[in-house]
Structure 1
Amino acid sequence: MLGLDFIRRLAVRSLALIQPRSDLVNESQGKYSYLENKDYLLSVGSYNGDITVLKYNPFQNTLTKVSTYNQPSFQPSWQTTHPTQKDIIYSTDEGNPGGLISLRLDRGSGELKKLGKSEGINGTVSIAFHGELAIVAAYTGHSVQTFETNEAGDISQVRDTFTYFLGEPGPNKERQESSHPHQVIVDPTGHYVVAPDLGADLLRLYTINGSHLSEFQSIPVTPGSGPRHAAFLVIDKPDEIFERNRTIIYVVNELQNTLTVYKTRQYDNGTFVFHQVQNLDTLPPTSTRQLVSVPSPTAGEIVISKDKRFLYVSNRNDYSFSDRKFGASDSIALYKVDPLTGFVTFVKLLQAGGITPRHFSFDESGKFVAIALQETDTIVIYRVDPATGEFVDAETHELSIHVSDRPVCVNWL
């Protein structure tokens, strides 16, 4: 598997370098006078052990490195801030052993200082918080685990561990040879945890009981689809038909490049029901012009806009925009969300700005999006049109910075 993965990355990188892109800001583009002259901080996790802090100023149109935290044999593939203490950052370690570390951010200098560490099962790739309870998914460790934290940045030893094995491989024998929980998210009521299991084709469910989890009945998905990530949406003003089904969950399936939409409902007897209402492609059949030697496209991250009007899914290795001035570019699929039902309609593909957009996130205002391009070693930032949800000047304008060795997570701090 390691050999195949190395060859795959080498192929992607070689194609990405056919048309090298500039990592420098084009100063001739000038300033945006209507944008606030304010500095935003972002954290970037890379597979070489770096967590890099960036500073973005939209008025000055600048993106610069502020500091870099490095730890040997560390694979910080996912970062998030503490629910109440926003200057404390928690990061997964996708190495072996995996687990969590916590760091304190000095917002004045941008420096990160390590506070705590707790080992877990190898391949920890995602974190979700419920109060002080940190819940993680371990992809190669086939597990979901929990840790207790506090406002000082302390991390307990592992509290719960749920490890899974398959009786036989799934339809995609290379990727579904075992259980692979890829993410954990907490439902909006705070009662349940959902863990998409790419290897088992399941949405694993857990109930939250204080500082512990209890397993609940899993939700099967289409065989061979490989659920990767998910996002919840609570409809503010539902249509009368959907009055009692206000919570929607959107699941992106990596192996079949699909987006599945479920209505969810919680009953008084404790049951939690998912009802599939849509299944859409993340790549229109005519959208990609991938070369034969390029690995097949795989869907990646899913994000809902801050105003709940749009939904985005990244497509990796699709090369939908291969003739850009900055080289080949993968895509991010844009969908419009029906405010009454939560159903989505595909709008168009947006340029990611490079190859392998594994993760992307919006700032708190929803005005800006930052994209981590794993195989282009780049972070790119676009402004977002609030009316259309599209990335402004994506074809002609780029604001990007080089980040070493496969950046896989970018978050606004």
Structure 2
Amino acid sequence: MSGRNDGRAFIGSFTSAGGRGITAVTVDPETGALTERGVTDAVANPSYLAPAPDGSVLYAVSETGEGAAAAFRTAAAEAGDGAPRLLAEPVPVGGADPTHLTLTAGHLLTANYSSGSVTVLPVGADGAPRPASGVTSHEGSGPHPDRQRGPHAHQVLTDPTGRWILTTDLGTDSVRISTLDAGVGELVPHTEIPLRPGSGPRHLAFHPGGGHAYVLNELEPTLTLCLWDAERGQLEPVGEVPVLPDGVDAEGFGSEVVVSHDGRFVWAAVRGHDSIAVLALDATYEKAELVTTVDCGGRWPRDLALDPTGGRLYAANEHSGDVTWFDVDPETGIPVRAGSLAAPAASCVVFG
């Protein structure tokens, strides 16, 4: 860390496509600019990252056919070459191509895309994941002839209360809701919420008020608005809106959805169209209007992240190999490009 008390972030990438692994960066608090501090390629295809709450450990999937998860000590990013240090050998997740992970109740959970499953790995006192204690396999399919022949778990996350585990499944057009039995390290299924057939749900984000959630679809460029009942663990779809303007010829594949800290706006990254959609929520948070789309600053925005202040957005543009940052107008929610950092095959950005 610099003497200017800059923030810290990490960029994941696909090593199989020329990425360098995990890049540690500092974040200028005044401009949002990223400065590289160090790189590690200790894990293949660390496409998604998740920091521990205290920031001392960084978790990564290894998005490969074998599938693994790993932990890195981030204190190493504050000295030496700045690169995080691998805590232990990566642990197999018992599923293929993990694309997302989350830490909850002393366990690391991974969503395994190709095998359509979710893995639970206990976390040891040193912060490193231990061998898997449970693997939950999904079943089902969807109408898309190529992308939905079977289940494809794409994201796993907790609700704002920490009680419920939600998994978006692109292959089955559904969101699965479970609880975690921390004593045995296994998921306990609660319910499955069907979404519109062929939509291909990819990622979900909660409204800061806790009573609503928004699902970004990949196979069709739309956002599904939902009510969330944390008492009953129930998700209820109440509407769907496009994330591309009418008349757009380019294909669009949603990748990441982010909600503003004040709950007024939703942003969605759309690959193909290579844009960030700006949607304004009404007073009920159950309806949204597409305000505009802005260029993502590169090609194929795989991830979109809001900085801790809520004032800047960062797009990880996989095909152009960069991370672009934007200043967000607090009144309109419209992002304005402010700079970029080269990051080959960039796949995600996390702060912590």
TM score, norm. by length of structure 2: 0.90
- Cα distance in 2 for partners of 1:82, 1:58 equals 21
1:411 alignment partner in structure 2: 350
Counterpart-to-counterpart distance in 2, 1:354 and 1:151: 41
Change in Cα spacing, 1:283 to 1:108, as seen in structure 2 (3 Å) is same
Q: Residue 321 of structure 2: which of 360, 373, 377 is its match?
A: 377
* Residue in structure 2 matched with residue 69 of structure 1 by the alignment: 40
What letter is aligned with 1:353?
Answer: G
**Which residue of 2 is the match for residue 199 of structure 1?**
171
- Which residue matches 2:28? 57
Aligned residues: 339
Amino acid corresponding to residue 411 of structure 1 in structure 2: V
Higher deviation after alignment, 115-124 or 252-261? 115-124
- How many angstroms does 1:279 deviate by? 0.6
Is 1:349 the counterpart of 2:293? The answer is yes
Correspondences of 1:13-28 after superposition (within 5 Å): none
Answering whether residue 235 of structure 2 is matched by residue 274 of structure 1, we say yes
- Computing the radius of gyration from Cα coordinates, the structure with the larger value is 1
1:390 aligns with 2:334: yes
- Aligned amino acid, residue 13 of structure 2: S
Aligned mate of 2:48, from 52, 59, 78: 78
1:319-342 deviations in Å (ceiling 9; x for gaps): xxxxxxxxxxx2111112234444
Deviation string 1:269-307 (CA, Å, 9 cap, x unpaired) is xx4333222110111223x353xxxxx321110011122
- Work out whether 1:182 is the aligned partner of 2:151: no
CA distance in 2, matches of 1:61, 1:280: 31
1:108 to 78, 93, 110: 78
Residue 339 and residue 234 in structure 1: after superposition, are their counterparts in 2 closer, same or farther (change >3 A)?
farther
Query: For the residues of structure 1 that align with 2:213 and 2:23, how far apart are their CA atoms?
Result: 32
**Share of identical aligned residues, percent?**
27
Following superposition of structure 1 onto structure 2, how do residues 327-342 of structure 1 map, counting pairs within 5 Å?
330-342=274-286
What residue identity is the alignment partner of 1:297? G
Aligned mates of 1:356, 1:233 — CA distance in 2: 25
Q: CA deviation at 1:164?
A: 2.7
Structure 2 Cα separation of the partners of residues 103 and 314 of structure 1: 28
Distance 1:68 1:103 in 2: 12
**In 2, distance between residues paired with 1:369 and 1:151?**
34
Q: 2:128 aligns with which of 144, 154, 158?
A: 154
- Residue number in structure 2 paired with 1:263: 227
Match of 1:317, as an amino acid?
Answer: G
Q: Distance in 2 between matches of 1:152 and 1:389?
A: 41
Whole-Å separation in 1 of the counterparts to 2:8 and 2:249: 36
Amino acid at match of 1:308: G
The Cα of 1:55 is off from its aligned counterpart by 2.4
Partner secondary structure for residue 372 of structure 1 = strand
Per-residue deviation, residues 107-157 of structure 1 (Å, max 9, x unmatched): 423321000331112211111222312111000121111111145222111
Kept after mapping to 2: 8 A contact 1:41/1:412: yes
Match of 1:307 among 254, 258, 262: 262
Output one character per residue of 1:166-224: Cα deviation in whole Å (capped at 9) or x when no partner: 4xx52111111211000011112222111111011111111223343201221111111
SS at match of 2:65: coil
**Given that residues 82 and 151 in structure 1 are in contact (C-alpha distance below 8 angstroms), is that contact kept between their aligned partners in structure 2?**
no
